[in-house]
Amino acid sequence: MDGGAPGIDSTLVDGLDAVELSWRYKAVPAAAHGQTAAGYVASGVGLAQLQTPLLTLSAQAMASNVAQMADWCEAKGVLLAPHGKTTMAPQMWREQLVHGAWGITLANASQLRVGHAFGVRRVMLANSLTDPQAVSWLAERQGPDFKVVSWVDSVQTVALQAATLADKPLADKRDSVLDVIVELGSGGGRTGARTVAQAVEIARAVSASAHHRLVGVGGYEGSLAHSAEPGALATVRGYLAGVKELHEQLLAEDLYAQGAETIITAGGSAYFDDVVDVLAGCASDRVDGGRRVDVILRSGAYMVHDDGFYRGISPFARGSHAGKTERPFVSAMHVWARVVSVPEPGLAILDAGKRDMPVDEGMPEPQLLGRELGGPMEVLEGASISAVNDQHAYLRCTPETTVGMGDVVRLGLSHPCTAFDKWTLIPVLADTGNDNALVDLIHTFF
């Protein structure tokens, strides 16, 4: 391991500073072409020298959110493997690892290759590998510097992986053994065994396989609810109780691999407090030869947060737990869009659309209006986005609001997962709204 960040190769991440900016990056103007990413940042430019449409991040907000989540997890006695698919940005993964993350969670084989390319040392693959090429690729590359724990949710998946590995000539028999956890789901949910009994059968199949080690249990509660209403929270907590029951049954049957550190994992960015309430008590240190059990959250959106779905449902905002003292996370992402048409009173058309900003968890929120990018801005009252096309947004304003051609609107966004995938390069401002100096350029790999 290099002397930089734990869990990732900092030399490879730092290499992104040498990337030459060009027409391939819509986030930077033509004046930046030919410069390296680091050189452009060092030139002293700010928001005023950029162009619309534009997604930006706030360095101050991200630093605050990362530190807060790290401190909270440490206080609760749980680990964190943030879901890297939210950003697919190794520079941001490194910040999470520097702040104590256990590893990085990823969702599929292509994301796994990105993690491997940047030297991520420990990965939770929150999915089942059923493509033979993906199974073989992982088996050939896993080792001390690339440890991967993946999921299985059926006996058939276990058999498929075992058959693939049995047919693959590998240099070392240890290469043909995959560390897996059994995923528990729920009726109407996404993946995962539908009952604890089914999950136990899968665990028995894993335990009996020469090509697998059973190292934990887990799943995803976020697909079962979409609000903080009492009924939704009861559904989430009932599901988590099932994960705990599954873990206890596997302990009772001694199905976990001998000598392996055991994982219980759940927790997106909406209900991680409930995960801790229900599951944190299962964690234990290895004492007198006993088994070490770690509870690992996989929250991914907290570093960026938003002005929509997560603002409303994040545990730090909704105050669902007694004795709440945490401050809410701060949204670190905004889109800046320019008025390109004022075709009728009360309607302005902006130059940002579905190709530039997410709409799957709610429309963007008009926040500020100014005459130029990087200039003074005023609160935009009574405005909304009523619709978006591929490259345009419909800004509805009150009759009292004066919106002119070329004016700039700052928009709050909902759902970082579908914001980052639209940008291969994202400018980072020192502190959006207070200091618009450009301090970094984030590269994404979707």
Q: Quick check: is 3 in a domain?
A: no
DSSP state of 256: S
Q: Is residue 318 a part of any domain in this protein? A: no
For the stretch 389-403, pLDDT in tens is: 999 999 999 988 999
Q: Tell me the per-residue pLDDT of 18-28, one tens digit each, with 9 for 90 and over.
A: 999 999 999 99
Q: Are residues 158 and 241 in the same domain?
A: yes
Do 339 and 364 reside in the same domain of the chain?
yes
Mean pLDDT of 213-219: 97
Indicate the residue among 280, 313, 346 that finishes a domain: 313
pLDDT over 70 at 323, yes or no: no
Residue 318 pLDDT exceeds 90: no
Quick check: 161 pLDDT over 70? yes
- The DSSP result for 138-207, as a single string, is HHHH-BTTBEEEEEE-SHHHHHHHHHHHHTS--SSGGGG-EEEEEEB--TTSSSSBSSHHHHHHHHHHHH
Domain count for the chain, please give it.
2
Q: How sure is the predictor about 1, in pLDDT bands with cuts at 50, 70 and 90?
A: very low
Say if 340 falls within a structural domain: yes
**Backbone Cα Rg of the chain:** 23
Find all residues with CB under 8 Å of 404, minimum gap 6, and list them. 339, 342, 371
pLDDT digits (tens, 9 = 90+) for 231-283: 999 999 999 999 999 999 999 999 999 989 999 999 899 999 999 999 999 99
Which domain-ending residue is among 249, 279, 313? Answer: 313
pLDDT at residue 285 in the model:
81
Closest Cα to residue 274, out of 314, 302, 312, 301?
Answer: 314
Q: Are 80 and 69 in contact (CB under 8 A)?
A: yes
Residue type, 446: F
pLDDT of residue 104: 98
What local confidence, expressed as pLDDT, does residue 440 receive?
98
Q: What is the CATH number of the domain that holds 437?
A: 2.40.37.20
Q: What is the pTM of this model?
A: 0.94
- Domain at 196, CATH number: 3.20.20.10
Structural domain that includes position 95: 59-313
User: Quick one: DSSP state of residue 362?
Assistant: S
Residues 403 and 393 sit within 8 Å (Cβ to Cβ): no
Is there a domain that residue 320 lies in? Answer: no
pLDDT of 342 > 80? The answer is yes
Average confidence score pLDDT of the chain:
94
Alpha carbon 285 to its chain centroid, in Å, reads 28
